């Protein structure tokens, strides 16, 4: 790999950790009804305002040994983990795309946007069992506008195949989970999961959204089974299904084509093209 890609990849990782730092603020403030842009960050324990040197992604956490520099109280490793994972997600998608022109950089940017929303939904669902309307609805609309703009740039048409696939994907992502929620009176599926289906449907398009659905059940089973067997969860216990959906979506974003090919050949349709 040449030097240009190596340096860009490192910059992308650093950029990702900075975005991760912002996402940490979002997952803290959004469920608490605080404004994301309101005021500077402060320590949740002593309330001391954080300075620039306390806000360097990854580095500040390591230098302060995971404690607040002002009150010495341990800071949740979540801050470090979210920064690191966001950096890694950005870095990996850069390596998978290796954009060489303007259009591919824009597509990568859209990929980063989707990944950032997935991180936010994942963490909030994991911690609060919540999927927030104020995250899903604006982000789905923003994504559709994004797709429309890219479609206009490539095909000179706002209603390109790209937008139509996203739009159908969003509906296809919403309806089955909504029906499951409705039929089970909220027992099998939360309404939040159906709303999340809107966003990932718009992100993956049709028919990739159903691949994400299938995978999310596999991921869910792989996580839930050990928890059930070791008695850490009961069968009636709540599971943050949105986290499984988020993981499945990343798998489809990165390896969807490979899965489709496998499935196609398994069905006996010959070589997928």
Contact call for residues 101 and 37 (beta carbons, < 8 A):
no
What minimum distance in Å lies between the beta carbon of 43 and Zn ion? 3
- Residue 164, both tokens: 């139509």
Give me Rg for the CA atoms of the chain.
20
Residue 107, number of CB atoms within 10 A of its CB: 16
Closest CA to 18 of 82, 76, 98: 82
Q: Which is nearer to Zn ion, 49 or 257 (CB)?
A: 49
Residues 33 to 72 in contact with Zn ion, rule: CB under 5 A: 43, 45-46, 68, 70-71
Contact pattern for Zn ion over residues 203 through 242, marking x by CB under 5 A: ----------------------------------------
Q: Which is nearer to Zn ion, 69 or 149 (CB)?
A: 69
**Please, how many CA atoms are within 13 Å of residue 109, restricted to the half-sphere of its CB?**
12
Residues 155 to 174 in contact with Zn ion, rule: CB under 5 A: none
What minimum distance in Å lies between the beta carbon of 60 and Zn ion? 13
Q: Which is nearer to Zn ion, 71 or 225 (CB)?
A: 71
Number of residues that bind Zn ion (CB under 5 A): 6
Contact pattern for Zn ion over residues 69 through 108, marking x by CB under 5 A: -xx-------------------------------------
In angstroms, rounded to a whole number, what is the distance separating the alpha carbons of residues 73 and 43? 9
Q: Which is nearer to Zn ion, 70 or 178 (CB)?
A: 70
What minimum distance in Å lies between the beta carbon of 151 and Zn ion? 48
Three-state DSSP class for residue 63: helix
The secondary structure of 229-243 as a DSSP string is HTTSS-TTS---HHH
Contact call for residues 202 and 173 (beta carbons, < 8 A):
yes
What minimum distance in Å lies between the beta carbon of 34 and Zn ion? 18
What minimum distance in Å lies between the beta carbon of 17 and Zn ion? 22
Strand partners, 67: 74
What minimum distance in Å lies between the beta carbon of 74 and Zn ion? 10
Q: Which is nearer to Zn ion, 44 or 226 (CB)?
A: 44
What minimum distance in Å lies between the beta carbon of 59 and Zn ion? 18
In angstroms, rounded to a whole number, what is the distance separating the alpha carbons of residues 243 and 126? 7
In angstroms, rounded to a whole number, what is the distance separating the alpha carbons of residues 28 and 133? 16
Q: Which is nearer to Zn ion, 43 or 154 (CB)?
A: 43
Q: Which is nearer to Zn ion, 43 or 255 (CB)?
A: 43
What minimum distance in Å lies between the beta carbon of 46 and Zn ion? 3
Handedness of CA 245, 170, 111, 196 (dihedral sign): negative
Q: Which is nearer to Zn ion, 45 or 184 (CB)?
A: 45
Q: Residue 143: CB partners within 8 Å, gap ≥ 6?
A: 110, 113, 114, 166, 199, 202, 203
Tell me which residues touch Zn ion (CB under 5 A): 43, 45-46, 68, 70-71
């Amino acid at each position: 790999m040449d030097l240009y890609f190596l340096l860009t990849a490192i910059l992308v990782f650093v950029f990702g950790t900075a975005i991760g730092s912002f996402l940490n603020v979002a997952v803290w403030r959004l469920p608490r009804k605080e404004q994301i842009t309101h005021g500077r960050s402060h320590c949740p324990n002593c309330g001391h305002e954080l300075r620039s040197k306390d806000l360097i992604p990854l580095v500040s956490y390591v230098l302060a040994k995971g404690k607040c520099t002002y009150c010495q109280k341990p800071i949740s490793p979540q801050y470090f983990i979210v920064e690191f994972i966001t950096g890694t997600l950005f870095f990996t998608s850069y390596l998978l795309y290796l954009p060489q022109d303007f259009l591919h950089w824009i597509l990568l940017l859209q990929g980063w946007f989707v990944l950032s929303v997935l991180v936010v939904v994942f963490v909030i669902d994991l911690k609060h069992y919540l999927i927030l309307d104020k995250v899903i609805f604006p982000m789905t609309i923003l994504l559709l506008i994004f797709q429309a703009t890219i479609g206009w740039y490539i095909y000179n048409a706002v209603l390109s195949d790209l937008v139509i696939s996203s739009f159908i994907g969003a509906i296809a992502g919403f309806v089955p989970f909504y029906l499951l929620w409705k039929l089970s009176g909220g027992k099998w599926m939360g309404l939040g999961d159906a709303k999340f289906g809107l966003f990932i449907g718009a992100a993956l398009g049709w028919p990739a959204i159903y691949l994400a659905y299938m995978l999310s059940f596999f991921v869910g089973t792989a996580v839930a089974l050990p928890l059930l067997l070791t008695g850490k969860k009961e069968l009636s216990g709540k599971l943050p299904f949105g986290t499984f959906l988020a993981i499945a979506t990343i798998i489809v974003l990165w390896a969807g084509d490979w899965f489709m090919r496998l499935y196609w050949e398994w069905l006996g349709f010959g070589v997928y093209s």
